[in-house]
Every structure is written in structure tokens, then in C-alpha cells.
Amino acid sequence: MVNLTQRLTEFLSAKSFGHFINGAYTSGNSEETIDVVNPATEETIASVSLGSSDDVDQAVRSAKTAFDYNSPWRKMTPDDRGKLLFAFADKIEEHKETLAQLVTLENGKLIKDARSSDVGGAAKTFRYYAGWTTKIEGETLDISQAQKGGKQNFAFTRREPIGVVAAIVPWNFPLSIASWKVAPALAAGCTVVLKPSEETPLSALLFAELATEAGLPPGVLNVVTGDGSTTGAALTSHKGVSKVTFTGSTRTGKIIGKTAMDNVTGVSLELGGKSPAIVFDDALDFDAAAKGVAAGIFRNQGQVCVAGSRVYIQKKVFDKVLTDVSHIAQKMKISHGFDESADLGPLVSKGHLEGVCSYIRSGLDEGARLLSGGEQPFDKGYYLQPTIFSATDNKQTIVQEEIFGPVLVAVPFTNLEDALQKANDSTMGLAATVWTKDISKAMSMVNRLQAGVVYVNSPVRSDPNLPLGGYKHSGIGRELGKTGVYAYTTLKSVNIVY
């Protein structure tokens, strides 16, 4: 089907993988393994060890040793730390095709997306945060404490690395989301234990190998593979962890938040979304709006946290815009991820496909109108046609719940207030897009939408300098940008009386 790079062929020849701890592979303490399956062929690519609490403990200890005050990592100047992050970014670029092929094999996504979003995105994020190592700063503060004998205060704050970071990531963008956590954590001077999703653990292991080749000291980045309930739970409850950073579903985020609180561990949660796209009848360019709405939901098979999965279209242009979006969907080429001309690949797993299909059935049961798609086009592989529903009731399950697949539901609205009421009528609040040429209307929406990210006249895209995170059940905290690196620091207040 595709010529794998030599590095990837060599990597996969191991067939079964342990954890990556202290700069090398370990065999793992558990007999249990997890198969990694290619979603396009349903064939097993390799297996990974199911990390036990002993494995997690070993990884956290390794990260703790690497974080020791006298360790080479802690003694490194910010400039040298930055150079290492730049070197890692270069390594990622050097092995771009290998990493992209591996992501496509284990996740199913289109290779062009793996190249640009996952691998290109990861390299960009590491470069961005490499620059931050030398810019972390505290403040000097005038305080009002009276000192005897003419003495004075010199008060200041300093930002220190928080410690060992547990990074738990999902499968939809395995490398770019990992880099949103690992890069700022390392830039701040922390050490990391990364737990990838059991669906996509291989790219994380190769990622850690490359980090070591780039010169990262042993123990600074460790990877423990396994499932959420065993390995993930052991990691988030480990007392040696100073900060848990999690991206995934709201359901799991609530469990992790409670566990972290038991140890009074800091926590950042990037959770699910049900993001509205709102198309006004004065949109600048209806073709661009239709293309943007389609790209907003169908990119990465709809498995995108900020996917615009419910579209609100003003009544006058409802039929026109929806017809245009449906035409785009019907023309999409569904094929395996290595097909460079494909528009839509398979979903990540059988279980996930079944979950998405059950939402399609619920849409039909609750009376939504199926306009396009809804079928599995092939016998083999976890494929699903791009699917579009039209609904009038904002309370329907498919309008309210995150489906995380290529399923769009369209609802008409009358005016700005109606659009806002419908868009904000959700427990989630991750992102929103607005399509209008009226700047006053756009700003009114920007100010009143309950969403962590709002794009006007474009689908949502990520940028290392633009914070990402959610309102309401979509999360706590922000990733990326300056906020993203400060999330891995803790503040010390100092007063020198002289």
C-alpha cells in the first residue's frame, strides 16, 4: 500500500514495545499487552505493554530524579534548554515522513494531515516554546511592610518549574497535542511522564526516542503505554506528580480532576466540545462559508475537539448554504490515509465508529432529517460517510452531545439573539465560528458567545501563540501561548530585607 521509511520499518520490526523510561526501553512489569490496530485494514501493527502501577512508579521516579535540584537538566541554563528544544524540533522535521506514516498507520488519518497537523504542528510548537525558555519572568513589587532601623524591602516573585508533569493525551492528534503539553513543560524546566492513548501509543514512543537522540537527558521525557483505567489512573494518582495536564473527554476529565484533587495536585483539563458555526444571511462569501463549515466538521474525520459540529444558519439562506455543504460532503473521496487524493479516512477504532453510528441512529429516532451520508461505505476498515442532518429542536441529542465524528447537524435561526441563545444553549464551550461581513454583528457575537475560542470568517485553527481552552464543561485552564508555559510554573514570593 505504501513504502514505509527505513526508520519506520526498523522501528516496527520490534513488534512489541515496552515503556520508554529514563532514556531507554524497559520490558514492562506486566504480562498484559494491548494490540495497536490499523483502522484502515483492521490488522494489528504491533503491541504495547499495559503499564502497571509499578511501571508508572518507575517512570515517575525517573522523572523525579531528572528534576532533582542538582541534576544536569536543572543545572542547564535557559538558553541551553532552548537549544535542546530547537534540536528536538529539528529532529521531528528530519523524521517528518516516518512520524507521519506512523501516525497514519495507528490513527488512520490522512497522511497529508499527519504531516501538517501532527508532525509539522509538533515541530512548530517545540520551536515556539524553545524561544520561551529565556523569557520566563517574575516581577519586582513595592510592598508596604515597615522595617525597623531604616531597613528596606526588596520583594520579588520568581517563576519556578512546577515539577514532574503527568501528561495524558487522546488519539485524535497524538503528536501535536502531546507537544502542546511536553514542549511548554520542558521549556519551563519540568520533567514529564507522557501517557498516550492506547489507540496511538507508537508515535509517542518514537517521539521519545527522537527526543533522546536530540540530546534530552535521560528521565526528562518518559512514556508509559497502557489504558486509561489502569495506567492513566495510576499516573494521575501518583503522589510524585506535581501537575496533571489532560486532554480528552469531559467524562474522563471529571474523574482525573477528582483524583488530582485528592493529592492537591495542579490540573489543567482540555475537554470536549460541541462547537457552533453560525452563518448569517449577510456572510461575506457564501462559498467560503460553506467550504469553511465543511472543513470545520469533516477535517480529521470530525475527530477534532474544536470541530464545528452544529451549524446555525439564518433562515433566508438556510437551504442554499446547507445544499452547498451537502454537495461538498457528497464529493469527498473516502479512502485509506495513504491515498494522497483522499478527503476522508477511517475513524480511529471499531468501538469509536460504533459510538458515532449510534448517534446517527439517535438522530433518526429523534426525528432529525438525514440529508447526506450516514452509511459505512466499505466492508473493511472503520469508514463512515460524511453525514449531515437538519434539525429544528436544539435539545435533540445530536445537537447537544459531542459525537466526535464526521456528523454535522444544521439548525435554522431567525436573528442574532436567536443565534446566540441557541449557540450558548450547551454544557460545552470550547470554540465557535461566526460568518458575517458586519463587524458590529461579529463583535457582538465575539463578546457574548460562551466559548474559549472564536473565529470570524474562518474555521478554527490552532497556532502556538494563541491560547486554546474551554468555557463550561470544555475545561479548566488554557494551553499554548504564554499562558501555556506559565501553566507549568509555580510562583515563589521573596522579600529581602536589607
**Residues binding ligand NDP (CB under 6 A):** 168-172, 177, 195, 197-199, 227-229, 232-233, 236, 247-249, 252, 255-256, 270-273, 305, 402, 404, 430, 468, 470, 475
Q: DSSP secondary-structure letter at 337? A: T
CB contact at 8 A, 322 and 413: no
Single out the catalytic residue among 106, 190, 198, 305: 305
CB contact at 8 A, 222 and 190: no
Closest approach, Cβ 241 to ligand NDP, in A, equals 11
Closest approach, Cβ 257 to ligand NDP, in A, equals 10
Closest approach, Cβ 254 to ligand NDP, in A, equals 10
Query: Mapping DSSP to helix (H, G, I), strand (E, B) and coil, where does residue 309 land?
Result: coil
Residue environment code for 268-277, b if the CB has 16+ CB neighbours within 10 A, otherwise e: bbbbbbbbbb
Residue 97 is which amino acid? E
Closest approach, Cβ 444 to ligand NDP, in A, equals 25
Greatest C-alpha distance within the chain: 86
Closest approach, Cβ 303 to ligand NDP, in A, equals 7
Angle at 342 between CA 338 and CA 345, to 5 degrees: 70
Q: Which is nearer to ligand NDP, 160 or 227 (CB)?
A: 227
Q: Which is nearer to ligand NDP, 101 or 117 (CB)?
A: 117
All cell numbers assigned to 83: 537549544
CB contact at 8 A, 119 and 96: yes
Residue 186 to residue 214: CA distance in whole angstroms: 14
Residue 157 to residue 137: CA distance in whole angstroms: 8
Q: Which is nearer to ligand NDP, 370 or 476 (CB)?
A: 476
Query: Mapping DSSP to helix (H, G, I), strand (E, B) and coil, where does residue 488 land?
Result: coil
From first CA to last CA, the distance across the chain in angstroms is 72
Q: Which is nearer to ligand NDP, 31 or 142 (CB)?
A: 31
Single out the catalytic residue among 106, 199, 270, 402: 270
DSSP string, 195-241: E--TTS-HHHHHHHHHHHHTTPPTTSEEE----IIIIIHHHHT-TT-
Is 402 catalytic? The answer is no
- Residue 406, exposed/middle/buried by CB under 10 A (0-12, 13-18, 19+)? buried
- Using alpha carbons, select from 492, 451, 66, 488 the residue that is nearest to residue 276: 451
Closest approach, Cβ 412 to ligand NDP, in A, equals 26
Q: DSSP secondary-structure letter at 117? A: I
Q: Which is nearer to ligand NDP, 82 or 170 (CB)?
A: 170
Residue 107 to residue 101: CA distance in whole angstroms: 10
Closest approach, Cβ 30 to ligand NDP, in A, equals 14
Q: Which is nearer to ligand NDP, 58 or 349 (CB)?
A: 349
Is 93 catalytic? The answer is no
Q: Which is nearer to ligand NDP, 161 or 469 (CB)?
A: 469
Q: Which is nearer to ligand NDP, 246 or 280 (CB)?
A: 246
Closest approach, Cβ 61 to ligand NDP, in A, equals 19
Polymer length in residues for the chain: 498
Helix (H) or strand (E) holding 194: strand 191-195
Q: Which residues are catalytic?
A: 270, 305
